[in-house]
Amino acid sequence: MRKQIAAANWKMNLSLPQAEELIIALLETDHSLNDHQLAIFAVPFPYIIPVKQMLDGRQNIFVAAQNCSANKNGAYTGETSAEMLQSIGLKYVLIGHSERREYNHETNAELAKKVNIAMEHQLQPIFCCGEPLQIREAGTQNSYVETQLKESLFHLPAEQISGFVVAYEPIWAIGTGKTASSGQAQEMHAHIRTVLATQYGNEIADGITILYGGSVKAANALEIFGQPDVDGGLVGGASLVATEFAAIINSLKK
């Protein structure tokens, strides 16, 4: 069975004491992960090391960065390299979140470079894709997402895309309280898997984890994660509440 993942994206929230409190509360709240289930915390850069220290040794729980530079090293003030993330023992990094595409003007071509540099440093990208509202309203979301995947991922050879993690996050459902219906999520996830299968074959496509993101909460996680092509979630707001995120972890497919 492919990996099922509950990923928290804290975005730019919490002080360090609040972050520590959240992790402690979460560890104390009833949650369980079996062999093919992971919980991943994408935390702000200054909290990566302290949160990682709190979670080290926990089975199937990992910390991720929310971004990395497309460049290797050098005069890029304010940036963080994949090499730095590797050097502190990280295994995961979010690439191409819609907020970075919007506010930092990250293009599909630049994201392809980030994917490459992350993989060169043994970091598994959690590659985010998803359409804005006007594209959904025009009904062209399938080709929009397909282009994002093609332009940022399809240069990868089969062995590198094997076991990959993609997160589908429709922008109109992020932070809006407006979740895609489980049917809409399944439809796009099946489309993404078909696009991957056309490029890489069924076996590889079947092994790729596709997360849904956009107003996931304890109350809707079970239904969304229950869809055949939904392998968990990338969760913003609800990941800042220990009881909510613990329930989301417990909603992963068994």
Residues tagged active-site: 97, 169
Q: Does 213 bind ligand 13P (CB under 6 A)?
A: yes
Among 195, 214, 227, 251, binds ligand 13P (CB under 6 A): 214
Q: Where are the beta strands (DSSP E) in the chain?
A: 4-9, 37-42, 61-65, 92-95, 124-129, 165-168, 209-213, 232-235
Q: Which stretch binds ligand 13P (CB under 6 A): 70-78, 136-144, 147-155, 212-220?
A: 212-220
Q: Does 175 bind ligand 13P (CB under 6 A)?
A: yes
Residues within window 226-245 making contact with ligand 13P, judged by CB under 6 A: 234-238
Q: What is the DSSP letter of 254?
A: -
Smallest distance, ligand 13P to C-beta of residue 130, A: 9
Q: Does 219 bind ligand 13P (CB under 6 A)?
A: no
Is 127 within 8 Å of 68 (Cβ atoms)? no
Smallest distance, ligand 13P to C-beta of residue 185, A: 13
Q: Which stretch binds ligand 13P (CB under 6 A): 118-126, 140-148, 169-177, 224-232?
A: 169-177
Smallest distance, ligand 13P to C-beta of residue 233, A: 8
DSSP output for 55-79: HTT-TTEEEEES---SS-SSS-TT-
* Rounded (to 5) percent helix, strand, coil in the chain: 45, 15, 35
Is 47 within 8 Å of 88 (Cβ atoms)? no
Q: Does 131 bind ligand 13P (CB under 6 A)?
A: no
Pairwise CA distance, residues 152 & 130, whole Å: 13
CB nearer ligand 13P, residue 11 or residue 193? 11
CB nearer ligand 13P, residue 235 or residue 249? 235
Q: Which two tokens stand for residue 116?
A: 């490459």
Instruction: Work out whether strand 61-65 and strand 92-95 pair parallel, antiparallel, or are unpaired.
Output: parallel
Q: Does 166 bind ligand 13P (CB under 6 A)?
A: no
- Give the residues lining the site for ligand 13P (CB under 6 A): 9, 97, 169, 174-175, 213-216, 234-238
